[in-house]
Amino acid sequence: MTFERSNIAAMSGYAPGEQPRGGDAIKLNTNENPYPPSPQVKQALAEFDVASLRRYPNPIADEFRQIAADLHGLELDNIIPTNGGDELLRLILTTFVAEGEVVATTKPTYSLYPVLTAIRGASLSEIELGAEWELPSDLLAQLAALKAKMFILVNPHAPTGKLVSVEHIAEIAENFDGVFVVDEAYIDFVDPDYQHDCVPLLARFENLLILRTLSKGYSLAGLRFGYGLASKQLAAPMLFKTRDSYNTDAISQRLACAALSSQDYAQQTWQRVRASRSSLSAALRSLGIESLPSQSNFLLSSIPEPYSAPDIYEQLKGRGILVRYFDQDRLRDKLRISIGSEEENERLLNALREICA
């Protein structure tokens, strides 16, 4: 006997990346920032008044929302604070998608989207990317034919690192009748030369919602703090109706404020990651391992014959190096490799040289 709802019983749960079991292992499989949070975050944690925990935190994290609003040139009511970006995704689905309605995304994409959609009791439709991992030219026609209530696009894309331009995002928002969610979990690692910024589009499109997280760019994956950017009309029901009460705790709010206020430090780490991304890609190429051009903090790398991606994955794991292998169409000959510190990247390369020797 089971007490689960039928859709829960039928679904599979989210499979997170492996955690290292040995103290000497390195994690290049979950796209974390290889550098620590800012000194300002460390100081905020050290100075936190534990006695204050007997009180409930600010229910909608007003101090954080104001810092975020100032950073993005928005107003307080454009900011939705959440317990990680994943809670924002669940909140979006709860607020805007009814059971049986269609949620569209790309194939492949972040593997949590299908899980949250199944929990909601909605229908997921995956739209195949083109040969160069680009959005199909008939994307809007496909969304219309599906009668999609929501379209979720991770940008830069995971697991390829490909970036969809601001102009293309605007075209979709203008011509799509549903809620358009742009998951910008990796946006901080985009090359500044692109001048990529979708935030000004919020003033034009009431159906656009942008997801941001402190897990990647601000080195706070262990904290679980994210936020959404949206028009006031789109944000209001999430802020004042469907959000959990006190959904972000007092410690998280304090450290998130410190992190977002540490822009100089954060941008230095982003630049270091971008530089390592370029050098690691070149070093992998010298071993015959080609990587897709990436605007994120990872590389999707093709393993050449006679080697196989699953075998290389296992051999690296045996050496205490975790990378990500996806047993999915179009990805079975590839490994996704997070950009590590210079020392971690060199350890990876040395292991690959031994394996490929």
Q: Could you give all domains of the chain from N- to C-terminal order, each with its CATH number?
A: 23-37+264-356 (3.90.1150.10), 39-261 (3.40.640.10)
Burial code (b: 16+ CB inside 10 Å, e: under 16) for 82-111 equals: bbbbbbbbbbbbbbbbeeebbbbbbebbbe
The dihedral over CA atoms of 325, 267, 197, 140, expressed in degrees to the nearest 10, equals 0
How far is the C-alpha of 340 from the C-alpha of 350, rounded, in Å? Answer: 14
H-run or E-run covering 234: helix 232-237
Enter the DSSP assignment of 210: E
| Cα dihedral 261, 264, 265, 270 sign | positive
Q: Quote the CA–CA distance of 312 and 333 in Å, as a whole number.
A: 10
Task: Read off the tokens for 1.
Answer: 């006997």
Burial class (CB in 10 A: 0-12, 13-18, 19+), 15: exposed
Contact 149, 101 (CB under 8 A): yes
**Angle (CA) 144 146 151, round 5°:** 80
For the chain, helix, strand, coil in percent to 5 are 45, 15, 40
pLDDT tens digit at each of 357 positions of the chain: 679 998 999 889 988 888 887 678 899 999 999 999 999 999 999 999 999 999 999 999 999 999 999 999 999 999 999 999 999 999 999 999 999 999 999 999 999 999 999 999 999 999 999 999 999 999 999 999 999 999 999 999 999 999 999 999 999 999 999 999 999 999 999 999 999 999 999 999 999 999 999 999 999 999 999 999 999 999 999 999 999 999 999 999 999 999 999 999 999 999 999 999 999 999 999 999 999 999 999 999 999 999 999 999 999 999 999 999 999 999 999 999 999 999 999 999 999 999 988
